[in-house]
Chain A
Amino acid sequence: MFSVHNYPILELNNVSFSYERGNNFIYNLNFSAGNGEFIGFLGANGSGKSTILKLASGILKPSHGEIKLWGKSLQNYSNKDRAKLLCYLPQLLDINVPFTVRELVKMGLYPYDIPPLMTIEEAIALVGLQEKSESYITTLSGGERRRVFIAMILVQGAGLLLLDEPLANLDIKYQIELLRLLRELKEKKNISILMALHDINIALHFEKVLLIKDGTMLGMGNPETVLTGNLLSKAFDVNIEIRKHDSGRSYVSYEDTN
């Protein structure tokens, strides 16, 4: 029996996918994400992190295997019903349309005929952008833009967030801010978050990590068991060691082999 916390809200069973016929990019992938889990997908560029998130969100269709959302095949959901349960945030947010912050956040209500509980004002307040609610998205910084889209998916009210490298191109300050915000949301709303990452130091502080290389899973579990020097070296093709500060915090060290 699963506890509510561990109930697998997303399951990928023997999932394979190819962009070109006969050339598998993702191969026989199996994993599940439980309710309220915060999982980091770690791998080198082109390892398949984004593709897995797009498969899990239904943007791409697997060539083999099955993806289940809350125990039901993802393909059997209508677009609107799926959008109420699952939300995907792409990596690139190069949007130059002058929507205001409020207009964008309001789009989170699109899947609904009757609005869900969280109001647009609450969502904007949660990401700390009250004073910029009438500003154009085109005038905001990269970090603020990410927060606008987080507010939008909060209004959308989905219990599962699939975020494709949300920390990419952000200064360290904004990375810390965004991670703190996501952790708070996870605690307060019991939202499950799957996030693609490429920074090993950040992955070291996740509860659960999935390490990917060439579309296959090298390991899944807590960072101490998965993010070993051996597996990381294999995943990134660089000699990597995990060391510990005197404080007990782990950090990554690599060797330039050239």
Chain B
Amino acid sequence: MSKIKFLFLISVLVITFSVSLFLGPRIINPFELNGTDKEILLMIRLPRVIVATLMGMALGASGAVLQGILRNPLADPYILGISSGSALAATLGLLSGMYMFSNFSIPLTAFIGASIVSILVGLFGWKKGGLWPGRLLLAGIGLSFLFYAILMLIISISANEVTRRALLWIFGDLSIAEWSLIPYGFLFILAGLYICISRAKALNALMLGDDFAHSLGFSVHRERLLLFASVAIMTSASVSLGGTIGFIGLIIPHIVRFLAGADNKKLIPLSALCGGAFLCIADMIGRTIMSPAEIPSGIITAIIGSPYFLYLLRKKDVLST
């Protein structure tokens, strides 16, 4: 992909970001801002659009990395059980009444839950001094089922308010976005992006197989551990910002691969950019078309993205990992 195309994509993200700020249930004219507009813009729209961008970037990049290290086109950031772990932790936090103490408490609990699950998956996936793709995948699926079972058990026996809040967490809810969380989310997601973009060559080599990666001068287990850590950091941060939003981590990397190729030096940053822009648009549509009711962003991302993905699948003759 040429620099011009890359700059074009950056421009699309910036435009999407700006449009998302001003469009919504109330259309704001940036040139004629009154007091209410300013308050909506600064206290509601801006944090929400930033959170959508950050989450989309984290999920797009994580999906690309995970499909590479697991060498599995069906991998998405939640396959490692991170969503179920964070949702369970958040629900336990809600049940214990922690949400009454501070706005931080539930996102923090979700982040801790996601981190614990990542470490558990890593431990189960570890054998003979390294992480093995097949073991990681199976550990993620196994733990996912276990945590979801516990979560469903808790929801089925708990009060309505806790159930409602827990469900919002499970299906993703960007309306909980607020300023206080953004610096932490930004820091973690930026750190994860930096790690995986700086290891893009190693990921290319790992996609050819461990023996190839070794032959090309990479320490296979060290590289896989670093990449896994970057996914765990980004996904945990994303979940703590606005719950679990499906589709982006699975499909965006495939769409980018169709358009720009499989080289991870391009694929990871482009998946991040497209993921960010896409979630911004999806969230803007979700909060606008049935206002004052909101449609969860995950539903919008699937409704817009799936037909385009299927169209590409028919048009292009390459199916990719």
Counting CB contacts under 8 A, is B207 at the interface?
A: yes
Residues of A within 8 Å of B208, CB to CB, are: 95, 97, 104, 107
* B204, B216, B261 — most chain A CB neighbours (10 Å): B216
A43-62: which residues lie under 8 A (CB-CB) from chain B? 54, 57-59
Q: Which of B215, B317, B320 contacts A97 (CB 8 A)?
A: B320
Residues of B in contact (CB 8 Å), total: 24
CB <8 Å contact, A98 and B201:
no
CB <8 Å contact, A59 and B216:
no
CB <8 Å contact, A111 and B320:
no
CB <8 Å contact, B216 and A110:
yes
Smallest beta-carbon distance A40→chain B, Å: 20
CB <8 Å contact, B204 and A98:
no
One digit per residue, 1 when the CB lies within 8 angstroms of any chain B CB and 0 when it does not, for chain A 77-95 equals 0011111101111101001
Between A and B, 17 residue pairs with Cβ closer than 8 Å are: A57-B211, A59-B210, A80-B217, A88-B214, A90-B209, A90-B211, A95-B209, A96-B321, A97-B321, A98-B261, A99-B261, A99-B262, A103-B204, A107-B205, A110-B205, A110-B217, A138-B318
Residues of B within 8 Å of A16, CB to CB, are: none
Smallest beta-carbon distance A54→chain B, Å: 7
Q: Which of A92, A96, A107 contacts B216 (CB 8 A)?
A: A107
Residues of A within 8 Å of B212, CB to CB, are: 90
Residues of A in contact (CB 8 Å), total: 33
Smallest beta-carbon distance A150→chain B, Å: 13
A residues with CB within 8 A of B: 54, 57-59, 79-84, 86-90, 92, 95-100, 103-104, 107-108, 110-111, 136, 138-139, 153, 156
Give CA–CA (A89, B320) in the complex, Å.
22
Known: A98-B261, A99-B262, A100-B261. A111 touches B211 (CB 8 A): no
CB <8 Å contact, A111 and B217:
yes
Given A108-B216, A111-B216, 14 more pairs with CB closer than 8 A: A57-B211, A79-B218, A81-B217, A92-B209, A95-B209, A96-B320, A97-B262, A98-B318, A99-B262, A103-B263, A104-B208, A110-B205, A156-B215, A156-B216
